[in-house]
Structure 1
């Protein structure tokens, strides 16, 4: 007898159930459809189609746009794709807590309008653009169907990290139920393993696993999704929900290719009366003692001082920052917050020195800069504070006053403030 944890709520789900009923009961396809519809809470299959069709009319359309600019292949190409995704709630409501709730697959996007997601920078090829489109579109449908959000609670993030490497996993993402706080991992390796794989590991860690009949998020149609969680109830609920997403909801086939310089203006953008902003362009030239570098279409340029710091000053401050970034919390008071700020300074200064002295960075010199050989950290918070002060003084002498220098010094001072707080406790 066919039993259900959660009755299907879509026509595709009812059809899948009907196939199981037909096999078990040896009845006609039409009879199986009616029986499946009744199990789903409808009078018959015709009633189910009419009811579900009415419900779909009340959906909300979201738009997803990706540009690509292929400069490296022999057949260069560029263009824009925009697809529609139909949701139960407006996109702006679904993402009311920010793009971050969409986890890894929405982080490169911005909410261009209340109903329009747009990739911030260009994809490197048409195939890459299609993968970004699929990941974003399928993620919106996943959020829409399940109510899950990207894992962000400290306890959930730590619980997943404490598992270590999940055997035979690939393209792992973390999710959580904002209502219950229960967490779930979505593992999407390319190859489907034999039934019962990693069974002992799952039992050892008190976890459950299912492989839903669902395309997944990372590379729909190519990767194989698995749901892993300590909550069997959450897994069963999510499995039923993702399997209930109708096939018709997914954008299918190759979207219409539009010109690279074209703009998609969504209905919500038009209704707002506000002009659609052009995509960010890289900067060039000089400004108040600073020069622009880097950046791309959709990505802002960065700035550095016009006048570079002498190489000997870089080889002075480089090993100090390297040692600071290898100092521990216990011995030297370098917490994660302090490390993050100092490491950003270290990384940025390494970028600058290669641009300031392009012909002078030999392997020997590079070893004396910001990422040299392994090194022990400082041993006391007092030594750490002195080292941070030394870095500050060198940068004050090495660079002329400008906004990039001021931003660098602000990070250094902020790290020192955090460290002093810890020392004074």
Structure 2
């Protein structure tokens, strides 16, 4: 006898129950469906179909926040937007493998809480803030609806990169099914669908294309999305899934503008009892003999010695590093690894020189300070090692002790250690 611990609440559940009833009582499939629907609490199977279709699917709310600062316009403005997105799975589960699954449109965000994505940096204007918000929100909906993630398997990446440029394509992103490895391209040019659009090219490359009735990711409402793949079955499935994303999943319309200095604290963050994790902001001032420079919202400041080195000493170190970086790996022992470290030191010291002596470096001096035309390099590894040691000694004299100086010296000493190994071989 068919017994129920819990009445079915889905059509698939009712159909499975109908099969059991049919087997037990030997009745027709139609009568079994009717009886199964009544056991599930409906008048009949048609009533069950209509009621379940109208019932809202279970969804999980995620929040997306973007800040903007527009200081370049005639009327400078700033603010914050936060919107909510309705997903099939919790945000933390959707992004269990990290934000990389969303590709380019999530790379500027961080998971501030299990239900909250927050943009690390500021958008440059109110308009671009809304575009970032749309791109991130629609990407979450796309991943939630399709199960696709940004292309990551080597064979898929090689296949995509191996294609010659798709005619009239723009804003292409690559996606794949994490289970099967089947890949798909999302192309979003500003071109409306027309019959036979690039059909010859697609046929020549064994590809298929569909233009779903969907907003896309890059510029919802303006760019037109096309799905391209080798697999027609995948295209049909993904087209149906994106066209089935309900309008209610994403809150459209005018967003509420909030003050730039305000913070959105999500329900999951409140439930955790832990404070909101503020975005990385630039540091200003001097600390432990170093001074901060650069950086911005979402970008940490860099550091340099608070007390600069004389321009004369920069002018002495610069040509030595320039010569080292023009030295041959075969005769002077400057391998790719050694060159990379020395070149980083050269680049960073040039930055420091301009900040330390903003009004003293003329155009003529600047072209000769750390760079310039190619020069004859050192001729032996021993000469190169001696030159590196000279640079190290000058840096010790030129800068007071601080962390930026120590980091610079570490690169110099690492280059010298690699070169010394070559000499001893």
Fold equivalence (TM over 0.5): yes
* Residue in 2 that maps onto 1:74: 74
* Residue in 2 that maps onto 1:248: 248
Paired with 1:340 and 1:276, the residues of 2 have a C-alpha distance of: 39
1:316 aligns with 2:319: yes
1:66 deviation in Å? 1.0
User: CA deviation digits over 1:223-271, x for unaligned, max 9?
Assistant: 1112223333333322222111112222211211112222111110111
* Residue in 2 that maps onto 1:212: 212
Contact kept? 1:149, 1:176, Cα under 8 Å: yes
Paired with 1:164 and 1:376, the residues of 2 have a C-alpha distance of: 40
Paired with 1:417 and 1:225, the residues of 2 have a C-alpha distance of: 54
1:407 deviation in Å? 3.5
Paired with 1:301 and 1:422, the residues of 2 have a C-alpha distance of: 36
Contact kept? 2:324, 2:377, Cα under 8 Å: no
1:121 deviation in Å? 1.8
Segment drifting more, 108-117 vs 220-229:
220-229
Matches within 5 A, 1:128-277: 128-192=128-192, 194-277=194-277
1:179 deviation in Å? 1.0
Gaps of 5+ in 1: 1-41
User: CA deviation digits over 1:360-403, x for unaligned, max 9?
Assistant: 44444444466756x699999979x9699579737566544422
Question: Structure 2 vs 1, CA of residues 65 and 353 (structure 1 numbering), >3 Å: closer, same or farther?
Answer: same
Contact kept? 1:332, 1:379, Cα under 8 Å: no
Segment drifting more, 98-107 vs 391-400:
391-400
Paired with 1:418 and 1:204, the residues of 2 have a C-alpha distance of: 51
* Residue in 2 that maps onto 1:352: 352
The structure that has the greater radius of gyration is 2
1:62 deviation in Å? 0.3
1:200 deviation in Å? 4.0
Paired with 1:388 and 1:159, the residues of 2 have a C-alpha distance of: 47
Contact kept? 2:151, 2:174, Cα under 8 Å: yes
* Residue in 2 that maps onto 1:299: 299
1:131 deviation in Å? 0.6
Paired with 2:164 and 2:398, the residues of 1 have a C-alpha distance of: 44
TM-score normalized with structure 2 length: 0.74
Question: Structure 2 vs 1, CA of residues 134 and 400 (structure 1 numbering), >3 Å: closer, same or farther?
Answer: same
Paired with 1:376 and 1:55, the residues of 2 have a C-alpha distance of: 72
User: CA deviation digits over 1:16-71, x for unaligned, max 9?
Assistant: xxxxxxxxxxxxxxxxxxxxxxxxxx966x75563245452x21110001111221
* Residue in 2 that maps onto 1:99: 99
TM-score normalized with structure 1 length: 0.74
1:183 deviation in Å? 2.4
1:95 deviation in Å? 0.6
Contact kept? 1:322, 1:371, Cα under 8 Å: no
Contact kept? 1:392, 1:409, Cα under 8 Å: no
Gaps of 5+ in 2: 1-43
Paired with 1:179 and 1:421, the residues of 2 have a C-alpha distance of: 47
Q: What SS does the aligned partner of 2:239 have?
A: helix
* Residue in 1 that maps onto 2:123: 123
Contact kept? 1:173, 1:187, Cα under 8 Å: yes
Contact kept? 1:321, 1:346, Cα under 8 Å: no
* Residue in 1 that maps onto 2:6: none
CA RMSD of aligned residues (A): 4.1
Segment drifting more, 131-140 vs 269-278:
269-278
Alignment coverage as a number of residue pairs = 376
Contact kept? 1:318, 1:368, Cα under 8 Å: no
* Residue in 2 that maps onto 1:51: 52
